[in-house]
Structure 1
Amino acid sequence: MVNGYSLDPHPSIKVVTEQYAVVRIPRIKRERVAANNVEIMADLKTAMENSDPKNNLYAAKVLGPSRSSEGMTLYYILQMFDN
């Protein structure tokens, strides 16, 4: 569990893992984000290079993908990184 959320993966998803990503969010104070707003990157350097806070794109370490109780595929934000 992360912050009280179950990390029960969707049946078609094989593994919930920590990864670096660029996430599109309107504000930094988020715990989780829908999968369609997450672009997985090869490493932190690549995530930092592709972040653009002026356009709500932030480098982050995420955990996922996971299925929410509402049936959405989510990533949990573990850490945000500043440019």
Structure 2
Amino acid sequence: LSAGFGPFSRLKVAEMRAITLEQLGRMGIDLRDVDQPIGTLSGGERQSVAIARAIHFGARVVILDEPTSALGVKQAGVVLR
């Protein structure tokens, strides 16, 4: 999402943040801060965000190879949900 034209365009950060919070909430994913770098998230949070991105951008099928092998019970439940 951007506003403006060509080299004078800028990202609509507030709108992107609102969409992210809404979509993650609809999928039952609760992150502490959506601006947090992905590398600082836990394994379960990373898996959840990756799945949410795939779904948001139109994936009909997501194939996962042992998606919960390194996760705790709570995190595994979030990923599978």
TM-score by length of 2: 0.28
> Which structure's relative contact order is higher, taking Cα pairs within 8 Å and 6+ residues apart?
1
**Structure with more of its chain in strand, by fraction:** 1
Q: Greater helix percent: which structure? A: 2
Structure of higher CA gyration radius: 2
